[in-house]
Structure 1
Amino acid sequence: MTNDLEKTPVTVLGLGAMGQALATAFLEAGHPTTVWNRSPGKGDELVARGAVRATGAGEAVRAAELVVVCVLDHDAVEAVLDSVADELPGRVLVNLTSDTPERARKTGAWAQERGIDYLDGSIMVPVDLIGQPPALIFYSGPRAAYDKREAALKALGGKPAHLGEDQGLAAVYDLALLDYFYGSISGLLHAYALAGADGVRAADLAPYLDTITAIMPSGVAEAAQHVDAGSHPGEAANLGMMASGVGHILEWAEHRGLDVSTLRSIKAVYDKAVALGHAADSWTRTIDVVRGDAGTARGDRVGQSL
C-alpha cells in the first residue's frame, strides 16, 4: 500500500451534500478518489472532476486504503458496512455520520470483532467549509489508525482533532457543542422576539449583541475552570442576582405573550439552586441542578475521591 505522502487512495461512501463535499476536498488535495452512493444519479460532477464511480460498495472499498462513510443515519451505516465487512480489514474506516456515543461504540465493537481499524468522527462545520482551514472535525478511536491516515484526513479541514481511543468521544463532543449551539441560537431568536414585541427591529438590536458575544470566550473558559474544580465563587455575579434577572425577562415575555417554556425551565433551575442555599455562588453552580446532584458539586466529589 502507498503512504499518505504518495496521496492515499480514498473512497467516499454516500453522496449527499456532505459526502460530495468530502469527496471534492479529497480530489482537490490530489487523492485518487472513488465514490459510491446507495441510490443512482449522484456524483456526475465528481466524476467530471476526476473521481471514479464504483458500481458497488465492495468495488468502492477495494479501490482505497482509507474508506469514509457519510450517509443518512446509523441504520444506513449498518446496512452499508455489513455489505462490505469482508473487504474492510487492512484499511482504515472512518464514519462521519453523526449519531449518539452509544451507537458509535456499538459500531466500534462491530469493527473490532472483525479486525477493522475504525474511527468515528463528527463534522462540526457546514458543507461550504469542508476542506477549509477553519473546518473542525472530531475523530475518536485507535490512535495508530488515526496517525496512519492523518495526512489524508487533513484534506477535509484545517482543524482535525483526535480525542482519544474511546470511539464514542467524537459523538460526545459533537452533542455537547451542539447543545451549546442550539441553546444559543434559540436564545438569540427569543431576544429578537422580546425586543420586537415592543417595536424594536432585530437589525436595530443586533449591533449591541456584540457586547454579549465578546465576553463569551473568556466566560466559557472561566466557567469550565469552575465546573472542573467544583468551586463556584460568586463575588462578581452571584446566582441570586441572576435568578432575579431571569425572572424579569420571564415576567415581560409572559406579558408580551411570547412562548416562555425555555425561560421557565431556566428560571426553575436557578430557583432550585437558590433554594439549595447557593444564592451567593456563581451562576455556574446551577450545573449541580442540571446534573441532578442535589446541591453537591460533582467536582467536589471527584476531588475528594482522588
Structure 2
Amino acid sequence: MTGSQAESTDPSDTTGAPAHGTRVTVLGLGIMGQGVADTLLREGFAVTVWNRSAQKATPFAEKGATVASSPSEAVEKAEVVVSVLFDADSVLGVLDEVADAVPADAVWVQASTIGLEGTARVVDRAKAQGVALIEAMMLGTKAPAETGKLVMLAAGDAGLIAKAQPVLDAMGSKTVLAGPAVGNGTALKLAANAWIASITAATAQSIALTQALGLDGDLFLQAIDGGASDSPYAHTKGKSILDREFPASFALDGLRKDLGLITEAASGSGVATTLLDALRAAYADASEQGHGGDDIASVYEAFTADRA
C-alpha cells in the first residue's frame, strides 16, 4: 500500500477537510516525527504539530502545518493522533495531559518504540481515559520517513486500523498487520530492530577487519555485492562508515535505548541474550567515544584498530 497523492488541496488551509478527509496531529518532532509530518503535509493532510521543544515545531508553520503551543491544543480537533515520542514515560505524560481534549471519535496511533512493558502501561492508561488506541510501529529511518516509504507494523482493533489506514498509507510503502492486540506491533518492531542493530554492527566489524588486515574497506562491500549474503542496508551504512561521516538517520543512543527494550523482551520470553549483550557493549563503546547523537553506523568506532 503506497502513499497516495493529494488532490488540489492547500495543506495550510485547516478550516476545511483535506483531500483525504482526515485531520492529523503529530506529537513529537524528533528525526522520525519531522519526517512523518513533512510526508503528511506533502500528501495533502491538514496537519497539526506539537513538540516539547518549540523551536523544532516553528519551521512547520511555514510548511503549512498548524503549530500548537500545547499537546491539548494539538489534539482538540484531531481525527488521527500520531505519537512519535522518545519513551513510555513521554507517551504516558502526554496522554495524561490531553485526556480531556482528545475527541471521542479520534484514533490515537502509538508509533513510539517503548517496549512491551511500556506499551502495556500505555494501553491501560488509554483505556482508563477512554482514548481509542492502536499502534503502528515505524520500520525505517530518516529518509523513508521523509518520503513515505516506512513499513508500518500495525496492531489493534481492525476497525480503528481501517479508520487510520489513509494516514498509514501515506506514511509507509506497506502496512504489515502484526495482530489484533496493541503490543503485537511492538513485539515485531523489537525483533526487526534487533536485526538492524546486528547487521549494522556486523557491517562495521567486517569493514574494520578488512582495513586492519591491510585492505581497502570497500572490498568487503564489493565481495558481498549481489551475492546471497548481500544487503542494501550494509551498503547504506557501509558508505557512511567508509566516508567516516555519521549524520544521524537513526541516532546511536536511540538504538541503545531500543536494545535495552529488546533485551528485556528476550529475557522475559526465554530467548538467550548472548548476541544482544555483545551488541549493547559495542554500541555503548561508540557512545562513550562521543557518538551517541551520531548515526548508528558510528558503531564502527567500537571496532577500529586506530582508536586513540
**One-letter identity of the residue aligned with 1:205:** F
Name the structure where helix makes up a greater proportion of residues.
1
Q: What is the Cα deviation at residue 156 of structure 1?
A: 0.9
Instruction: Indicate the residue corresponding to 2:147 in structure 1.
Output: 132
Letter aligned with residue 57 of structure 1 = P
Aligned-partner residue type, residue 124 of structure 1: L
State which structure, 1 or 2, has the greater radius of gyration over its C-alpha atoms: 1
Residue 269 (structure 1) aligns with: none
- The answer to whether the Cα contact below 8 Å between 1:70 and 1:95 also exists between their aligned partners in 2 is yes
Residue 163 of structure 2 corresponds to: 148
Shift of 1:212: 4.2
The whole-number CA distance in structure 1 between the counterparts of 2:176 and 2:160 is 13
Aligned to 1:91: 106
Selected match of 1:110 from 125, 129, 146: 125
Alignment of 1:198-237 (within 5 A): 198-210=213-225, 211-214=227-230
> CA offsets per residue over residues 159-216 of structure 1, 9 Å max, x none?
1222112111111111111112222222222222333332122112221122242499
Name the structure 2 match of 1:120: 135
The C-alpha deviation readout for 1:206-237, integer Å capped at 9, x for no partner, is: 21122242499xxxxxxxxxxxxxxxxxxxxx
CA distance in 2, matches of 1:22, 1:204: 36
CA–CA separation in structure 1 for the residues paired with 2:161 and 2:84: 17
CA positional deviation for 1:55: 2.2
Q: Using a 3 Å threshold, how does the CA distance of structure 1 residues 192 and 215 change in structure 2: closer, same or farther?
A: closer
**Partner letter of residue 76 of structure 1?**
S
What letter is aligned with 1:81? L
Gaps in structure 1 of 5+ consecutive residues:
217-287, 293-306
In the aligned structure 2, how far is the partner of 1:289 from the partner of 1:48? 48
**Between Structure 1 and Structure 2, how many residues are aligned?**
220
Name the CA shift for 1:179/1:157 in 2 (closer, same or farther; >3 Å). same
| 7 and 289 in structure 1: CA distance in 2 versus 1, 3 angstrom threshold | closer
Q: Does the aligned pair in 2 maintain the 1:140–1:168 contact within 8 Å? A: yes
* Gap change, CA 1:6 and 1:157, over 3 Å in 2: closer
Q: Does 1:36 align with 2:79?
A: no
Residue ranges of structure 2 left out of the alignment (5+ in a row): 1-15, 233-269, 275-308
Mean CA deviation greater in 186-195 or 18-27: 186-195
**Aligned partners of 1:4 and 1:152 also within 8 Å:** no
Shift of the 183–152 alpha-carbon distance from structure 1 to 2, 3 Å rule, reads closer
Taking a change above 3 Å as real, the CA distance of residues 44 and 290 of structure 1, as seen in their structure-2 partners, is closer
Q: Identity, % of aligned pairs?
A: 28
Q: How does 1:1-306 map to 2 (within 5 A)?
A: 6-88=20-102, 89-130=104-145, 132=147, 134-210=149-225, 211-214=227-230, 290=272
Equivalent residues of 2:148, 2:170 under 8 A apart = no
RCO greater where, 1 or 2, for CA within 8 Å and sep 6 or more? 2
Q: Distance in 2 between matches of 1:79 and 1:142?
A: 24
Give the alignment's TM-score, normalised by structure 2. Answer: 0.65
Structure 2 vs 1, CA of residues 215 and 82 (structure 1 numbering), >3 Å: closer, same or farther?
Answer: closer
Q: Secondary structure at the match of 2:123?
A: helix
CA contact (8 A) 1:34 1:63 kept: no
Task: Return the offset for 1:157.
Answer: 1.7
Deviation for aligned residue 1:118 = 0.4
Asked whether the equivalents of residues 15 and 37 of structure 1 are also in contact (C-alpha less than 8 Å), the reply is yes
Alpha carbons 1:4, 1:149 under 8 Å: kept: no
Secondary structure in 2 matching 1:201? coil
Asked if the contact 2:39/2:145 (under 8 Å) is kept, the reply is yes
Tell me the C-alpha RMSD between the 2 structures. 2.6
Amino acid at match of 2:208: A
Q: Report the counterpart of residue 305 of structure 2 in structure 1.
A: none
* 1:96-124 Cα shifts (integer Å, max 9, x gaps): 11121221122112212232210123211
